[in-house]
Amino acid sequence: MRLPIAREGLPIVAVCAVLLAAALLWARDGGWGARSAAPAGFAVLALFVTWFFRDPARRVPHGAGLVVSPADGKVMSVEAVDGEAFMTGPATRVTIFLSIFDVHVQRAPMMGRVRRYSYRAGRYLPAWRPDASSANERATLGIETEAGPVVVRQIAGLVARRIVTYPREGDRVAAGDRIGLIRFGSRVDLFVPPDWVVAVQPGDAVRGGETVVGRAADKAPAGAPQR
């Protein structure tokens, strides 16, 4: 079975494969020490990099007003915020932490059109810190959907040093579409209107493009709880 790899990872995987081949050639004359250990070390590195950049297919749920998770990881917090990330007025922010063991491809939470995109250089604070959302390197997409605006913010972490975002202003996206990637440990913030129902809570594990994290207010069942 072929392991899908994100396109940004292909050059790095290729470099690791070349290094592994060189190590095997160096070690073929035998002897103990660095010569014998090098192939094993580069093999582990190649396997890790290949696994890190995996990009598995996801089964995107369909339903009126569903909001799917933009990232794999663990929900750190669900909280009310004001005046952030292209939202006019209050919003609910769902913060997802991605460890180096999670898939690092991000996905669109809903179908819509990208109305705004911004990138800001910044610091590399640990992604779990509250101020990482406004202090760290970050890229932000504002998506206008039929139900209202949603915003996805990709945030670099302590180890992450590169954010890639595919869509730009005017592009259309479908729920579950790949919208970018962050390398090596990071955080993704999702902003939705404050009256939308949020279906996750801190500690929940989520899968990008697959886990339902909320529903638009006018699409929510009557009496649905607001977390």
Express each pLDDT in 101-159 by its tens digit: 888 899 999 999 999 999 988 776 766 677 777 777 889 999 999 999 999 999 886 66
20 and 85, same domain (yes or no): no
Q: Is residue 34 part of a domain?
A: yes
Bridge partners (DSSP) listed for residue 96 = 75, 188
The letter for the amino acid at 131 is D
Q: Is residue 182 part of a domain?
A: yes
39 and 146, same domain (yes or no): no
Quote the domain boundaries for residue 199. Answer: 66-217
* Domain CATH code at residue 202: 2.70.70
The proportion of the chain whose per-residue pLDDT surpasses 70, expressed as a percent, equals: 84
d(CA 100, CA 102): 6
Q: Number of folded domains in the chain?
A: 2
CA distances from 205 to 27, 70, 72, 200, 202 (A): 43, 12, 8, 9, 9
Q: Is residue 226 part of a domain?
A: no
More confident residue, 216 or 15: 216
d(CA 166, CA 76): 25
Closest CA to 106 of 26, 160, 64, 46: 160
118 and 34, same domain (yes or no): no
Would you place residue 226 in the very low, low, confident or very high pLDDT band (cuts 50, 70, 90)?
A: very low
36 catalytic residue (yes or no)? no
Catalytic residue among 69, 77, 118, 186: 186
d(CA 28, CA 206): 45
3-state secondary structure string across 56-75: CCCCCCCCCCEEECCCCEEE
81 and 170, same domain (yes or no): yes
204 and 119, same domain (yes or no): yes
43 and 83, same domain (yes or no): no
12 and 38, same domain (yes or no): yes
Q: Is residue 61 part of a domain?
A: no
**Does the pLDDT value for residue 222 go beyond 70?**
no
Residue 141 host element (H or E): strand 138-145
134 and 34, same domain (yes or no): no
**Does the pLDDT value for residue 87 go beyond 90?**
no
3-state SS assignment for residue 122:
coil
